[in-house]
């Protein structure tokens, strides 16, 4: 565990330290597209954040290769090299798209080629466990097609959800944390070393997202762009493929006693088929709603609009940051709910807990004006908007005397100011604030 934590910290540190220079490079290179009608931000913001994330990935793999226990992953498996090859290709395509806006079909072809490169080097699905059927061995063509489909779907799901500051990185980090706990349990509890590469991939993915998030939280100073969203989508898919395609489910039957216990013990084997859906669930629901909505209006299903889930959250009164936190909440609920069910499938408390948390999430959706306040002892660790205002009582008296409204506590949160980011025409964040008020 210590080596995984060290790899995670090194990946996060490299990503965090490189994001600042990459931002300056993106501004100089002109990777700052114009504001589109469906965009939420108000000022042109540099992209190419995936450059820092890719070098964080390389640093994590390099450190893991020189550690005592994790070095065995590189000696016994070719999966880390396969991941690096596919990641380099998809990252290069993303960089070109962030700068030159390449065609969607070209990107799709590049995604399929990157997945094929990983398949050729051994990172592929060899068999799949099906409930009620057992382990089903796949032919070479079946495994290749299934692997490529999983990679392409996951990449585009992550790319699709990248609509608000910090949304994609945070949701993928949540999914990676849940997947790491699952893969590490398979390796540690069952003694199956084939799950070690998936644990390594999940730890590195968490480091990439955690290192980039401080620069990408609202107001974002830099966007990850397609170079980042496609990269973390590929890494997430690689971990799921590694566990599903390399871990033999029959090895887990050695620890079962009765037929009933065998059914419960086989539940973790099915989780790799469900865990990738934890990051696809919300984007897939958004995609289906978008197709129905546009078709009902007589528009093309591919016509862009401002009707996505994150746009709806903003329209009903949620601030930018609160909308992101709500989507974090539901992503964590799905991911860790699946993880808890894999640990104890026979427990009814897990189902009841998921239902109760879902009800809490629905209440939060209906309270757009609710602003949580941190306790006094924790105020120094949270953003200013979550701290209690000590001068509220004093400010209320002048308001009552003059009839002038007091300053809105959430004004700072609702004004999307990109601090320190200048527009193409030289407009600063101060100008943006004056125009929005």
- pLDDT tens digits, 38-68: 555 567 788 899 999 999 999 999 999 999 8
Q: Within a domain: residue 413?
A: no
Q: For the whole prediction, is pTM greater than 0.85?
A: no
Q: Within a domain: residue 377?
A: no
Share of the chain above pLDDT 90, in %: 28
Q: Within a domain: residue 436?
A: no
Q: Within a domain: residue 239?
A: yes
Q: Quick one: 366 exposed, middle or buried, by C-beta within 10 A (0-12, 13-18, 19+)? A: exposed
Q: Which residues, in sequence order, are CB contacts of 255 under 8 Å at separation 6+?
A: 190, 265
The token pair that represents 283 in the structure block: 């984007």
Rounded to whole angstroms, the maximal C-alpha distance in the chain is 80
Half-sphere exposure of 392 (CA within 13 A, CB side): 6
Residue 257, pLDDT above cutoff 90: no
pLDDT 10s digits, 205-214: 999 999 999 9
Q: Within a domain: residue 233?
A: yes
Q: Within a domain: residue 360?
A: no
Higher pLDDT, 193 or 99: 99
The token pair that represents 203 in the structure block: 């730890």
Place of tokens 């609509």: 163
Distance, in Å, from the CA atom of 301 to the CA atom of 76, rounded to the nearest integer, reads 47
Distance, in Å, from the CA atom of 9 to the CA atom of 4, rounded to the nearest integer, reads 9
- Region 229-238: mean pLDDT is 93
- Write the DSSP symbol of residue 367: -
Distance, in Å, from the CA atom of 50 to the CA atom of 396, rounded to the nearest integer, reads 47
Q: Within a domain: residue 410?
A: no
For CA atoms 226, 232, 235, 241, give the dihedral sign.
negative
Give the model's pLDDT for residue 434.
37
What's the structural domain count of the chain? Answer: 1
- Write the DSSP symbol of residue 381: G
Answer whether 47's CB lies under 8 Å from 26's CB. yes
Q: Within a domain: residue 325?
A: no
Distance, in Å, from the CA atom of 419 to the CA atom of 404, rounded to the nearest integer, reads 29
Domain holding 198, by residue range, is 2-255+263-280
């Amino acid at each position: 565990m210590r080596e995984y934590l060290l790899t995670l910290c090194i990946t996060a540190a490299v990503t965090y330290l490189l994001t600042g220079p990459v931002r300056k490079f993106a501004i100089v290179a002109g990777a700052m597209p114009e504001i589109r009608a469906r965009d939420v931000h108000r000022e042109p913001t540099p992209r190419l954040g995936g450059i820092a994330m890719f070098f964080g990935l390389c640093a994590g793999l390099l450190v893991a290769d020189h550690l005592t226990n994790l070095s065995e992953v590189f000696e016994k498996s070719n999966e880390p090299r396969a991941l690096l090859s596919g990641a380099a290709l998809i990252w290069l395509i993303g960089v070109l798209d962030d700068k030159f806006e390449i065609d969607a079909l070209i990107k799709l072809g590049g995604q399929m080629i990157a997945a094929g490169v990983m398949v050729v080097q051994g990172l592929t699905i060899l068999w799949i466990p099906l409930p009620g059927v057992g382990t089903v061995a796949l032919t070479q063509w079946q495994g290749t097609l299934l692997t490529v489909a999983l990679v392409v779907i996951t990449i585009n799901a992550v790319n699709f959800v990248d609509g608000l500051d910090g949304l994609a990185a945070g949701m993928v980090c949540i999914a990676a944390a849940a997947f790491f706990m699952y893969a590490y349990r398979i390796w540690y509890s069952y003694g199956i070393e084939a799950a070690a590469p998936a644990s390594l991939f999940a730890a590195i993915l968490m480091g990439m997202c955690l290192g980039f998030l401080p620069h990408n939280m609202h107001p974002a100073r830099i966007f990850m762009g397609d170079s980042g969203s496609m990269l973390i989508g590929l890494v997430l898919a690689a971990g799921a493929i590694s566990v599903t395609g390399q871990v033999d489910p029959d090895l887990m039957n050695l620890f079962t006693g009765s037929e009933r216990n065998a059914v419960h013990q086989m539940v973790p084997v099915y989780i790799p088929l469900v865990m990738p859906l934890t990051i696809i669930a919300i984007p897939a629901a958004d995609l289906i709603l978008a197709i129905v909505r546009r078709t009902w209006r007589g528009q093309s299903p591919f016509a862009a609009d401002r009707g996505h889930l994150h746009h709806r959250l903003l329209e009903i009164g949620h601030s930018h940051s609160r909308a992101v936190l709500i989507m974090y909440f539901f992503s964590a609920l799905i991911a860790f709910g699946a993880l808890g069910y894999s640990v104890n499938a026979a427990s009814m408390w897990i189902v009841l807990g998921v239902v109760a948390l879902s009800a809490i999430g629905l209440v939060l959706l209906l309270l757009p004006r609710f602003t949580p306040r941190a306790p006094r002892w924790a105020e120094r660790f949270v953003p200013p908007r979550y701290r209690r205002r000590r001068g509220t009582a004093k400010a209320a008296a002048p308001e009552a005397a003059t009839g002038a409204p007091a300053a809105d506590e959430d004004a700072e949160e609702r004004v999307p100011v990109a601090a320190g980011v200048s527009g193409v025409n030289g407009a600063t964040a101060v100008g943006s604030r004056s125009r929005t008020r």
